[in-house]
Amino acid sequence: MNRHHLRTIIWLRWRLSRNQWSRSGLLNAVLTMVVVVVVFVIGALGAIGGVLAGIFALAKVAPLVLLGIWDAIVVIFLLFWMIGLISEIQRSEIIDIGKMLHLPISLKDIFLVNYIASHLTFSIILFLPVMLGLSFGLLLSRSWIMVLLIPLVLSFIFMITAWTYCLRGWLVTLMVNKRRRRAIIAGITFVFIIIFQLPNLLSNVFFKHHRHKPGITQTTQSNQEAESASGDNERPNLPPSILIAHNFVPFLWIGGGARSLAMGSPLAAIFGAAGGFFLGALGLRRAYRSTVCFYQGRTICSKTKHKKKKEKVIHATKESLVRKFPGISAETSALASAFFRSMIRAPEAKMALAMNFFVLLICGVSILARRSAGISDIYKPFIVTGAVAVTFFGMTQFMFNVFGMDRNGFRTLVLTPIPRKRILLSKNIACLPIVLGIGLVLIIIVMFAVRLPVIMFFAGVLQLATAFLLFSMLGNLTSVLVPYRVAAGSMKPTKTTTLTMVLIILSHMLFPIIMLPVFSAPALGLLLSGLGRIPADLTNVLLSIVFLGLFVVLYRLSLNPLGDLLLKREKKILEVVTQEIE
């Protein structure tokens, strides 16, 4: 490819991006440009801060301190990098190679352009200038040998980006099947969440005894500080196994190289840079081969033998199609069953609901690990209500946009001759089993961990039902007024207006205010118990019953006007949730 070809392709890509920004509105285009400028300004400030830190703060620190600082920077960078990898898990191509196969253009050049452009991300713009600035500052403050940190940093970035690009290319070949694609996205998201929360869980389970160690006297603490101050600062306090790991784990090569350079030995930095460039080149070569094979239709697929299975004949009956709920009409029960089945099958719904599972896991382990901590009786009623709040925190986006994942299936709802209030009721009933499952488990964990009386369990169940009715009413209103389409396989909103994004952010920021009616029962119970002889627990249960009855009436009264509003706006909702993604 000559420079004229390259300039034409880049101009075409810029023109397409500009057209997309113009169609999204002037305000969105301006906000996008402002965000881009702010990110680059932050990167420039990070580079200046890195230079100043290397000159003034790290000029005379011990080699082991440099190792720890670089390890911390690498860990934080990898954290941001994985978050970006989850949000854009597939290959982000600036140029579609499939449309360039018939042109007399080198695919290697297009591949390199795509590789460079796809990694102009927030993580690179933020951390690469900081790393290079810190390396340059150490070069100015220490000795010329620190110049080897610059190729070591570049080799690390090259290695990470190359293998990330290779990973994206491999995932593309797996995600040709849409159902498998969504399952992979959900699975990778779950794995990363578990990895990030694993240190917290381990610290709560295995190291909780350190929090309640017998107190150390001031004299003993002063003696320990004096001994540590009089010791040799250069003596490594890390286990030898960790220092050895810096020689073999690629992610730790920067820290090991910085420590080696501070001690006057360049070998670790030289070998680390060479190893990083070699691994990066290996990953980039593999990514190029997989990319060309994919676009040429030569993807290697494993051959599996399909065994003939006998077809099972399922006789559809009324009982198998409709699961009758008590007090609910047959058509409403059928819609609720269909919505619930759609939720448990959709990967994006699983991702949204799995957040509650992880919150349940993390909070449950943390509560059980700290069960020995003393909690005043005054705050115990609020702990159960807090468990109810945690149940709904991960479901805010899901319950406030009940039509967002219907997409083309919303056409069926528009054509069905069913009163619109029953559609809203069915949507709410479909969420009820999940709310009850997560909420009851979390309440039971809190009951055993804090050793609450049994009467608080009934108060928690009543407050859980009250919060469900409250969120159902607000969710029905926002779903009708401000609907937005959710991308298949993720919870990412697509083609959202500025007003929609503002309301999504406000719905999360105002979550404590929405939960105020639920927290009113334990608060008023505590207040009334201080004025009279009625126990706070009994008052909490009685007030929870009153609030539940009040919200049952309000919910029933809200169905008719919200159903009429849905009938008036269903065409607008249909346009929003069925529009295709560019």
Q: Are 284 and 333 in a shared domain? A: no
Between 487 and 284, where is the model more confident?
284
Q: Are 564 and 460 in a shared domain? A: yes
Kindly report, residue by residue over 205-232, the tens digit of the pLDDT: 555 544 444 444 444 445 544 444 444 4
What does the pLDDT average to over 52-67? 89
Enclosing domain of residue 146: 39-207+242-295
Task: Please state, rounded to an integer, the average pLDDT across all residues of the chain.
Answer: 76
Query: Is pLDDT above 50 for 317?
Result: no
What does the pLDDT average to over 51-55? 92
pTM of the complete model beyond 0.85: no
Please tell me the predicted confidence (pLDDT) of residue 320: 42
Q: Are 254 and 348 in a shared domain? A: no
Please tell me the predicted confidence (pLDDT) of residue 153: 93
Phi, psi of 410 (to 5 degrees): -65, -20
Q: Are 417 and 466 in a shared domain? A: yes
Query: Is pLDDT above 60 for 188?
Result: yes
Query: Is pLDDT above 80 for 399?
Result: yes
Q: Are 453 and 534 in a shared domain? A: yes
Query: Is pLDDT above 60 for 194?
Result: yes
| % residues pLDDT > 70 (the chain) | 68
Structural contact between residues 435 and 464, judged by C-beta atoms closer than 8 angstroms: yes
Choose one of 279, 295, 311: the last residue of a domain: 295
Residue position matching structure tokens 């007030």? 543
Query: Is pLDDT above 80 for 463?
Result: yes
Domain count, the chain: 2
Q: Are 407 and 289 in a shared domain? A: no
Query: Is pLDDT above 70 for 462?
Result: yes
User: Sorting pLDDT into bands at 50, 70 and 90, what band is 116?
Assistant: confident
How many Å apart are CA 365 and CA 84, to the nearest integer?
Answer: 28
| Residue 8 within any structural domain of the chain | no
Decide: helix, strand or coil at residue 377: coil
Q: Which of 62-71, 82-91, 132-141 has the lowest mean pLDDT?
A: 82-91
| Residue 105 within any structural domain of the chain | yes
What is the token pair recorded at 494? 């697509």
What does the pLDDT average to over 27-33? 74
Kindly report, residue by residue over 331-378, the tens digit of the pLDDT: 888 888 888 888 777 766 666 666 666 665 665 555 555 554 456 667
User: Sorting pLDDT into bands at 50, 70 and 90, what band is 286?
Assistant: confident
Query: Is pLDDT above 70 for 163?
Result: yes
Q: Are 494 and 422 in a shared domain? A: yes
Q: Are 285 and 403 in a shared domain? A: no
Q: Are 462 and 572 in a shared domain? A: yes
| Residue 222 within any structural domain of the chain | no
Q: Are 193 and 338 in a shared domain? A: no
How many Å apart are CA 284 and CA 290, to the nearest integer?
Answer: 10
Q: Is the dihedral of CA 519, 521, 522, 524 positive or negative?
A: positive
User: Sorting pLDDT into bands at 50, 70 and 90, what band is 321?
Assistant: very low
Measured at the alpha carbon of residue 53, what is the angle toward residues 225 and 270, in degrees to the nearest 5?
Answer: 95
How many Å apart are CA 110 and CA 97, to the nearest integer?
Answer: 7
Structural contact between residues 461 and 432, judged by C-beta atoms closer than 8 angstroms: no
- Of 402, 408, 376, which Cα lies nearest the Cα of 471? 402
| % residues pLDDT > 90 (the chain) | 19
Q: Are 247 and 360 in a shared domain? A: no
| Residue 67 within any structural domain of the chain | yes
| Residue 30 within any structural domain of the chain | no
Please tell me the predicted confidence (pLDDT) of residue 465: 93
How many Å apart are CA 66 and CA 456, to the nearest integer?
Answer: 53
- Of 519, 504, 551, which Cα lies nearest the Cα of 389? 519
Structural contact between residues 149 and 135, judged by C-beta atoms closer than 8 angstroms: yes
Decide: helix, strand or coil at residue 427: helix
Q: Are 281 and 376 in a shared domain? A: no
| Residue 308 within any structural domain of the chain | no
Helices 267-295 and 253-262 cross at an angle (nearest 10°) of 160
Beta bridge partners of 493: 486
Between 437 and 239, where is the model more confident?
437
Structural contact between residues 480 and 565, judged by C-beta atoms closer than 8 angstroms: yes
| Residue 452 within any structural domain of the chain | yes
Residue position matching structure tokens 């305000």? 27
Query: Is pLDDT above 90 for 468?
Result: yes
What does the pLDDT average to over 145-165? 91
| Residue 175 within any structural domain of the chain | yes
